[in-house]
């Protein structure tokens, strides 16, 4: 009798520790739905095999860039994402996290930059949500490679400056020729 009670107590402790109650699951789903609704872009990230120290660095860098990062269970993510965007949800293999931001490009770019800066780190983009549509890994990688706003503005300034500079040189040469 004592043995049965001990087993029952262990089973209850196991359930309390590892299994989520329905109310807790509903709260997690609502939180995830809110994150997806408020964000302009969401990236699905596979972090299987990522060391705790690397994940801490990742979270710090994302936070500094204004990008949120949330780990979730795939089943709860699937429930939260159902009907939130057009198309089909990309294959979510491994352990999945969400990187989200109010900037359209920040979340994929920061994940991509972290991958590039930390070569030995196992981190991969699985897909995401952009402009209300589920998009593939390839499309999300293309978005991630778009330079930041400042870099694009400097390139535009250079492109605008170049013809004016050439015109000034040509006028200067013409003026030298007339003298």
pLDDT of residue 142: 86
Average pLDDT over residues 130-147: 86
Domain architecture of the chain: domains with CATH: 2-160 (3.30.70.1730)
Q: Which DSSP category does 96 fall into?
A: E
Q: How far is CA 135 from CA 35, 107, 144, 151, in A?
A: 17, 14, 13, 25
C-alpha span between 55 and 147 (Å, rounded): 24
How confident is the prediction for the chain on average, in pLDDT?
A: 83
pLDDT of residue 140: 87
Q: Which DSSP category does 69 fall into?
A: E
Helices (H) and strands (E) in the chain, counts: 7, 5
Q: Which DSSP category does 95 fall into?
A: S
Tokens of 95: 């352990």
| Residue written as token pair 């352990």 | 95
Mean pLDDT lowest among 12-21, 67-76, 81-90, 98-107: 12-21
pLDDT of residue 10: 76
The tens digit of pLDDT for each residue in 51-69 reads 888 889 999 999 999 999 9
User: Quick one: pLDDT band at residue 14, thresholds 50, 70, 90?
Assistant: low
C-alpha span between 104 and 144 (Å, rounded): 10
């Amino acid at each position: 009798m004592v043995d049965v009670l001990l087993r029952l107590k262990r089973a209850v402790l196991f359930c309390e520790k590892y299994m989520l109650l329905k109310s807790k699951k509903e709260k997690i789903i609502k939180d995830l739905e809110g994150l997806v609704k408020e964000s302009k872009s969401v990236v699905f990230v596979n972090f299987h095999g990522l060391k705790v120290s690397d994940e801490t660095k990742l979270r710090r860098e994302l936070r500094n860039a204004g990008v949120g990062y949330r780990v979730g269970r795939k089943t709860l993510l699937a429930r939260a994402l159902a009907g939130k965007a057009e198309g089909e949800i990309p294959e979510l293999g491994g352990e999945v996290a969400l990187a989200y931001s109010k900037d359209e490009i920040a979340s994929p770019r920061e994940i991509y930059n972290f991958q590039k800066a930390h070569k030995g780190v196992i981190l991969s983009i699985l897909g995401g949500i952009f402009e209300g549509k589920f998009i593939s890994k390839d499309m999300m990688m293309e978005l991630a490679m778009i330079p930041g706003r400042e870099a694009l503005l400097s390139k535009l300034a250079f492109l605008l400056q170049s013809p004016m500079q050439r015109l000034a040189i040509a006028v200067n040469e013409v003026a030298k020729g007339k003298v």
